[in-house]
Amino acid sequence: QQQVKQSPQSLIVQKGGISIINCAYENTAFDYFPWYQQFPGKGPALLIAIRPDVSEKKEGRFTISFNKSAKQFSLHIMDSQPGDSATYFCAASSQDSSYKLIFGSGTRLLVRP
Amino acid sequence: DVKVTQSSRYLVKRTGEKVFLECVQDMDHENMFWYRQDPGLGLRLIYFSYDVKMKEKGDIPEGYSVSREKKERFSLILESASTNQTSMYLCASSFGTANSPLHFGNGTRLTVT
């Protein structure tokens, strides 16, 4: 059972455009939602994270939007750059299993120059 | 900077062999994890450990075991490798506090022939 569904599987965006990756979850006990970024040949690294008590969190060009009622959250990359080309994973965890992150299936982003 | 080091970048083994994947972290993290990464399936948790000699099954533990004799070292063991265990294996570590970021190694690409 896939507890965190991520889309799209791949995404191509022109430089300067907005990249949007969406995730939906099923478990209403989830209370922590991070995004990880993975460059080729490297392990994933934490990019940005949000808790459900806020609807949006922004760090530079990266923004998480969170919709608790719809059980959805998304990553927006503004002014996308070729250096943003990577695989992005959303994830979720709950307080009662805070060590265990459930990851989405990943989105491969390519930003064309 | 946290460093999580996986002993091999690429590994080729034969069906039925016993395989050891080693992981070492240098930040005195309490938690250590083994994930498997497959295209379209994201990152799936195999086993994790929150203390020396402690281990917990993740979502896909079948065919795997782990060992954590020292705090900094976490080993993944394939008792009898099979072709369906061909994958990218990622080790990660984190502090023992809730929602502490995962720090990943660069992965071991295992091919079982």
Of A36, A44, A100, which is closest to B45 when you measure between CB atoms? Answer: A100
Question: Measured between alpha carbons, how far apart are the two ends of chain A, in Å?
Answer: 38
Q: Contact B42/A42, CB-based, under 8 Å?
A: no
The distance of B7 to chain A (nearest Cα, Å) reads 14
Whole-number percent of chain B with pLDDT over 70: 98
Of B99, B101, B104, which is closest to A43 when you measure between CB atoms? Answer: B104
How big is chain A by its Cα radius of gyration, in Å? 13
Nearest to B22 by CA among B54, B61, B68: B68
Q: How many residues does chain B have?
A: 113
> Which residues are registered as beta bridge partners of A88?
A37, A107
Peptide bond into A8 cis (omega under 30): yes
The rounded mean pLDDT for chain B is: 94
Of A34, A42, A93, which is closest to B106 when you measure between CB atoms? Answer: A42
Are A68 and A95 in contact by the 8 Å Cβ rule? The answer is no
Both tokens of B101, joined, read 């970021």
Residue B44 is predicted with a pLDDT of: 95
Residue B97 is predicted with a pLDDT of: 81
The distance of A104 to chain B (nearest Cα, Å) reads 6
Per-residue pLDDT of B72-111, as tens digits, reads: 999 999 999 999 999 999 999 999 887 889 999 999 999 9
pLDDT higher than 80, residue B1: no
Q: Contact A105/B105, CB-based, under 8 Å?
A: no
> Which residues are registered as beta bridge partners of A22?
A7, A74
Q: What is the pLDDT along chain A (113 residues), one digit of tens a residue?
A: 568 999 999 999 999 999 999 999 999 889 999 999 999 999 999 999 999 889 999 999 999 999 999 999 999 999 999 999 999 999 999 877 756 899 999 999 999 99
Read out DSSP for chain A? --SEEEE-SEEEEETTS-EEEEEEE--TTEEEEEEEEE-TTS--EEEEEE-TT-SEEEETTEEEEEETTTTEEEEEESS--GGG-EEEEEEEEEGGGTT-PEE---EEEEEE-
Both tokens of A7, joined, read 């889309």
> Which residues are registered as beta bridge partners of A10?
A108
Contacts of B36 in chain A (CB under 8 A): none
Both tokens of B77, joined, read 């063991």
pLDDT higher than 80, residue B55: yes
Both tokens of A10, joined, read 């791949």
List Cβ neighbours of B62 (8 Å cut-off, separation of 6 or more): none
Nearest to B63 by CA among B107, B92, B30, B21: B21
Q: Contact A100/B4, CB-based, under 8 Å?
A: no
Nearest CA in chain A to B96: A99
Largest separation between any pair of C-alpha atoms in chain A: 44
Nearest to A87 by CA among A9, A33, A4, A13: A9
